[in-house]
Amino acid sequence: MTKIKNIEIFELGEKITNTPWSSTILILRLTTEDGYVGYGEAPTTLMTLPVLEEMNEVARIFNGKDPTEIEKNVREFYKHSFYLPVSMESTAALSAFEIASLDITGKIYSIPIYKMLGGKVRDKIKAYANGWYSDCINPDDFLQKAKKMEKIGYKAIKFDPFGNQFDSLDHDHLKNAIEIVSTLKNETGLELLIEYHGRFNASSAIIAGKSLEKFDPLFMEEPVHPDSIESLMKFRKSVNTRIALGERVLNKNLFLPYLKNDLVDIIQPDVTNIGGIFETKKAAVLSDAFGVDVAIHNAFGPIQTAASLQLDVNINNFLIQESFENSWPEWKINLIKDGYEIEDGLYKISSKPGLGIEINEKILDEFKIQGMEFLDPNEPPWVVKGTFR
């Protein structure tokens, strides 16, 4: 039996911005007493410092523990963390430790994480591009950038066409959204995924959904405010489209109301905020029993991507994988040297042990940063930069 000896947390960034995929990330490095090293990642969307502090609390539970006793260690933190199932700070912090523990376990036994989950059911993982439409406002803006994604090989793209609308949707922005989606549908060969960002009340979401369903998107994501299941029920009854949600669902059990009430077609758990890889796998198995697919949410960094891909090759009900690869700053692209690649809109992963990645230690040293993300009073941190106007 080996034990966790050193726990290091790195806040990284080139500068403080308000876009999660280019701003701060939190990286965890666990080292055992016999020299095995594992990496994890936690999300930071306008909560960098709270998550970092909560990682220090998880460290008090995991320090000195056998990293291969993953379920036991997770359960121990669950016992101590009173608000764990509904506190994203807690689930995000725990996720980093769970992922890093699995990385170590794979290295100890010389197998990739997907082997611990039951092995591969696919070798190639279809991706969709996100983050590509910065500063896009009108249909031509979207079209020109969408064509660039198509040219480099993506077969699907996700985007938010609703500008600066929140809660309600006015006529002009609805008209612009229809024109954007129509243009992309008619002038590219891309599958379209429409992002609502959980921003609308029921009536506005329904108006938008009924106007856009004729373009046959692969799915519409978070059409209503995430805390309003009644609004989601109204949307479900009114709009003939596939619904995706789940990046803000923090526990496999919390997916049950959506699954039992037939409110979702594609769940989107996030390995860095649901509790890690095993909890995501359990959510996937649960959704499979309801005939619901999985498209893992993945908006932050390359360790998160590496962890998500270990699941993508394994789960039966995989649909498509989110990718911000082409929107990252150079430092984030260079954080890992090896482990996976994306070509022609398809991910492939290595068969190396654990997460299969090699971390560029130089980035850990050169891009340390402190503080919260920048808060732009005119643009929330959850939108693609330059589109909320």
Residue 4 phi, psi dihedral angles, 5° rounding: -70, 125
Please indicate whether residue 197 is annotated as part of the active site.
yes
Give the integer Cα–Cα distance in Å for 298 and 305. Answer: 6
Give the integer Cα–Cα distance in Å for 337 and 359. Answer: 6
Give the integer Cα–Cα distance in Å for 313 and 307. Answer: 11
CA dihedral 146, 148, 150, 153 (to 10 degrees): -140
In the numeric block, which tokens belong to residue 226? 């995430």
Give the integer Cα–Cα distance in Å for 25 and 27. Answer: 6
- In three-state secondary structure terms, 214 is helix
How far, CA to CA in Å, does 5 sit from each of 62, 297, 377? 10, 31, 42
Strand partners, 346: 126, 343
Give the integer Cα–Cα distance in Å for 74 and 52. Answer: 18
Q: Which of 171, 173, 225, 297 is flagged as catalytic?
A: 297
Give the integer Cα–Cα distance in Å for 52 and 364. Answer: 16
Give the integer Cα–Cα distance in Å for 137 and 128. Answer: 21
Residues present in the chain in total: 389
Alpha-helical runs (H) found in the chain: 48-62, 70-80, 88-109, 113-116, 139-151, 171-187, 202-212, 229-238, 256-260, 277-288, 302-312, 330-333, 361-366
Scanning the structure block, which residue is given the tokens 């954007």? Answer: 180
Q: How many CB atoms lie within 10 A of CB 71?
A: 10
Best CA proximity match to 356, nearest among 314, 318, 302 = 302
Q: Which of 80, 171, 197, 225 is flagged as catalytic?
A: 197
DSSP 96-114: HHHHHHHHHHHHHHT-BHH
Strand partners, 104: none
Give catalytic residue positions.
197, 297
